[in-house]
Every structure is written in C-alpha cells, then in structure tokens.
Amino acid sequence: MNLLLADLHKFVGYSGGIEHVLSRMAAAMKDRGYTVSVVMADEKSGDPFYPLPEGVKLYNLFKMEGMTEIHAGLFSKAAREIARAFSKEAARNRNYSIFNQAKPQMKRVLELAKPHVIVSFREPTGRLLLEGLDTEIPVISMLHNDPDEIFLHSPEKEKRALEKSRFIQVLMPSFIEKAEKYLDYDRFVHIPNSVNIPHLEVDPGQERKVHKIVNVGRVTGRTKRQHILIEAFSKIAQEFPDWEVDICGDTYDKAYVTMVKSLISKNGLQDRVHLRGTTKNMGKVWQEADIFAFPSHHEGFPLALSESMGVGIPAVGFASCSSVNELIKDQVNGFLVPDGAEAFSKALASLMKDSELRRKLGTGARESMKPYAPEVVWDSWDKLIKECIKEQ
C-alpha cells in the first residue's frame, strides 16, 4: 500500500513539532510495510531537520524536477503580513494563494507517488488537495492544535474543504466537541501523538552542583511565552542560587528573542538563564533537567512536555492551556497553576526546595505517559489507514 504524508511547510533545517511527528510517522508506517512518500514545500534546497528513513521519497513541491519553481516572493510575503494586521483569515487566504500556484506540481506528486491514502498535516495542505485538486484519493486530515486556535480565524473555504476528508484526527478527546463547533462533520477520530521515551535513568531529586529548570520549544511569544518563565524565575532566583534555566529551541522569531534577551539582562540573569538554541541531543537535556517548565498559552499535544514527563521529570504548566491541562495532573505528575508569572513562580519554588517531591512527581509523570507508547499510537494509525482503503 502506498501512503503519502503531505505537509506543505518549510522543512530545511526547521525543527517544528509537526515535522517531528511526520518523521516518526514515516518511520513507523514504513516499518509496518507501507511504501511511504512525503511531500513538503520549501523555497530552500536541503534536508529536513528530522531525518526521513531510507527508502522514503521526499518531494519538495516548490522545487519539482522538470517543473517551474514556486517562489512566494517578497511582494506576496509583504502582502500577507499587511493582510494579517487587519484579518488573520485574509492572511491565511493570501498564504493559500501561494500553494494554489503549485497545483500542477501537487498533481505530479500524486501521479508519481500513486498513494492509496494521503495524510494531510496542515489545513492549507488539505485545502489544496480537497478543494484545489478535488482529489478522490482518501485524505485523513490531522488537527495538530486546539480547534479553537485553528478555526477561529480560518477561511470558510478551508473549513468546507476539510469536511471532504475521509477522517479528521484530533489529539485530545476534548478537541472533538470543539471542532464540531466549526465543521459540519461527524467522522472525527482521537489519536494522540506518540511519546518516544529514551532509555534513560533520570532522577530529578538527585543532588547536583547546579540544578536546572528546562524549557524546550521554539522561542516565540504567541504560543510558548518563555518570557513568563523568565519573569517567574526572576522572583525566586536569589532564594535559589544553585538553580539555572535552560531554554532550548529555534530562535527564528527574532523580535521576540530580542525582547527575551532584554528581559534576561534587565533582571541580571545573564549567567543563569541560557538560550541554548536547537539540539538533537535531547538525552543530555533530560539528564540535566530537574524541572520542566512549560508556560504555553495553547498546545495541541506538546512533544517536548510529554517526552520530559516520560523520562520522569515533573512539569509545571497552566491550567488554562489546552492539552497541557490534560497531560499534567496537578500534584500527581506536576503542577497546574493559574496563568501568570506569580503562580508559576510559586509552583517552581515548591519543586526547587523539595527533592523528594520532584522525585515523587517525576515517578507519576513517567507512569502517566505509558498510554502514549509508540506501538499503541502507530497501531491506531495503521488501523485507520486500512479502514480508509477498505471503504474505497
């Protein structure tokens, strides 16, 4: 059976969570006997940050061999950002117009890959397949975020296109009811992300010369909000002189990164709060971590949070944050607190001063991630894909 994984997004050197899921799915489905192809879209040439398995064919929609290259162009990008200032929906339509130029290229990908089923990783990707090409190939559309975040400013044509999906997958059971507010659709399926747990001996209660609070995720203010972690730490830094903060993630949001660096400097934390950038050596990050701090505003199914919990690190997050408030069980595997630096700071301090509490909640965190084991999740995907094929 031929399976096409479609994610029309930049990928060269890009370490996003969705790209990470795609890499894992490609490997898992190949292991289950599928012939897997991947189509992505980047104006650059190069390899994905997260490698694809040997034998998986990668198509770059913007650089298809023998076809016209697609360039967004400075004018199109500027028009999109101007539109965003007035309407997020208009900006998303502008963005889709760039993909719409690549209909011949996508049609060519379908001819070459000959997929029996397509898994679409983003809403504009599904729109191109289901509206732009009106494909009859079964499409499973993935929703990688809280539906309120996805659809509140989504173009109507995008929503209507997704309603043509054979199935729509959501990451949390609670997301089905949310998605039903926006889509006239009744074939939602709940499949979470898989949690790959490294074989590590992590003890967050051990004695160290330097203890670490770790945050992993792209450094950006709209979603991840690392500034709240810095503000929270600044309130207790003097009380805990042997603690530091490591922030690991992509720093492409230059304006926000500049603000974060200014905030670190303003609070005199240059030697204690570190922007580490991206890394592929997550084992080292987890071995050095005592607490995982995750001040996100909203999430779909955060891989970094779930993996940190899977190795036994207690977490702190906000009770108002979608997905986080279902993964973290307050005082069982971490702390859920009201949004804001003050409450976040108090939760951090409770863990920082009590090594046995860190150890206890870390054990709870490890146990709570077992239902998300890769074999469970990928078996669910295998079953869903085969159900699509049976219905043809």
The 10s digit of each residue's pLDDT in 226-268 is 999 999 999 999 999 999 999 999 998 999 999 999 999 999 9
Sequence-separated (6 or more) residues with CB below 8 Å from residue 76: 94, 97, 98
Cβ contacts of residue 241 below 8 Å, gap of 6+? none
Number of H helices, E strands in the chain: 16, 13
Q: Which of 188-202, 291-305, 367-381 has the lowest mean pLDDT?
A: 188-202
Within 8 A by CB and 6+ apart from 350, the residues are: 335, 357
Q: In what side-by-side order are the strands of the sheet with 167-170?
A: 57-60, 35-40, 2-7, 117-120, 139-142, 167-170, 188-190
**Is the predicted pLDDT of residue 113 greater than 70, yes or no?**
yes
pLDDT at 87: 66
State the CB neighbour count (10 A cutoff) for residue 33: 9
Q: How high is the pLDDT of residue 200? A: 84
pLDDT, tens digit (0-9, with 9 covering 90-100), for 264-283: 999 999 999 999 999 889 99
The mean per-residue pLDDT over the stretch 308-335 comes to 97
Residue partners of 92: CB distance under 8 A and separation at least 6: 124, 153, 154, 155, 158
128 CA to centre of own chain: 22
Q: Are 115 and 136 in contact (CB under 8 A)?
A: no
Domains parsed from the chain with CATH numbers: 2-194+373-391 (3.40.50.2000), 211-371 (3.40.50.2000)
| Predicted model pTM | 0.84
